[in-house]
Amino acid sequence: MNDGLFPPDSAMWRMNREHFVLLGGASAAILQAAHPMVAMGVAAHSEFRDDVIGRLRRTLDAVYVIAFGTKEEVAEVTRSVRSAHARVKGDAPQRYSAMDPDAQMWVLATLIATTVEMHRRCAALPARDELDRFYADMRLFGRSFGLDAAVGPQTWDEFSAYYDAMLSGPLLGSHPLCAEVAHSIIHPRRPLALRLLAPALLPFACEYVPEPIRTRLHLPWRGWHRGATHLFERCIALLLPILPGFVRYAPAYRRSNLRCAQTSAIMERTAQ
């Protein structure tokens, strides 16, 4: 029994339930900030230098609720996110708005591409039909943030071409604020625990940001980052089949799985 936006057998559930997807969290945030309009909004409407973890946590919470939550929870988060985004707009240093369709499409694209990349690195590249289903689910997901379904690429092939064009085009990283926000993510000031942990997380953040964006943002990537992350990914791939669910899967997924199972059991007893 499903009471959420996406059913338990959806590509959305299968792709986002894995804990290893979180390894790409910092790189997704950096890629988002590479869009000048996003960077301007973050710089003007958040304490991005001192609240990196807060912004990442709020984004992750919203993603998990929309992916795994009930329709009532999704509606509440949708109202909250759209209300917050509606206030993020201005004219300096140039016009920006969190409701701009092109900026929204890019933010969604970073979530899609990062999730697929983490699966490729830590498990396996999803089959083509799975990619098609995941992209369709993520477009529905994007509507919760206010992105019109008609905006942007409509198929996985179109999305792949769009993403490659964005990476190679002149827009990303073209404003100084892009690099400033990106460096606040890899060098957080607070909390102290994250500041101390940042050097260990730096290889993942830098390696998972593709070129030429990594160079444009002046990220401190080093050759050994590739070897270190690859070794970590191989360890995950080897351990994945034997990891218990409470280690392998996100808590939001486990709670939703249990909720759906309990609801189905109640429905069956009622029908008897």
Strand partners, 96: 90
Give the separation between CA 128 and CA 121, rounded to whole angstroms.
16
Per-residue model confidence as pLDDT tens digits over 108-135:
999 999 999 999 999 999 999 999 999 9
Count CA atoms within 13 Å of residue 147 on its CB side.
22
Asked which of 1-10, 158-167, 177-186, 215-224 is least confident by mean pLDDT, the reply is 1-10
Give the separation between CA 214 and CA 173, rounded to whole angstroms.
9
Asked whether residue 99 carries a pLDDT value surpassing 70, the answer given is yes
Residue 182 corresponds to which tokens in the numbers above? Answer: 């990106």
Cα 235 to chain center, whole Å?
23
Residue 213 corresponds to which tokens in the numbers above? Answer: 């964006």
146 near 66, Cβ under 8 Å? no
**What percentage of residues in the chain have a pLDDT greater than 90?**
77
Give the closest residue to 114 by CA, choosing from 66, 59, 74: 59
pLDDT at residue 1, rounded to an integer: 58
10 Å CB burial of residue 251 (0-12, 13-18, 19+) is: exposed
45 near 88, Cβ under 8 Å? yes
Per-residue model confidence as pLDDT tens digits over 209-221:
999 999 999 999 9
192-201, 232-241, 257-266: which is most confident: 232-241
pTM recorded for the entire structure: 0.93
Outline where 69-218 has alpha helix (H): 71-86, 101-122, 128-143, 156-168, 176-186, 192-207, 213-216
Give the residue extent of every domain in the chain.
Answer: 11-271
Give the separation between CA 137 and CA 10, rounded to whole angstroms.
8
Q: Locate tokens 């085009």: which residue?
A: 169
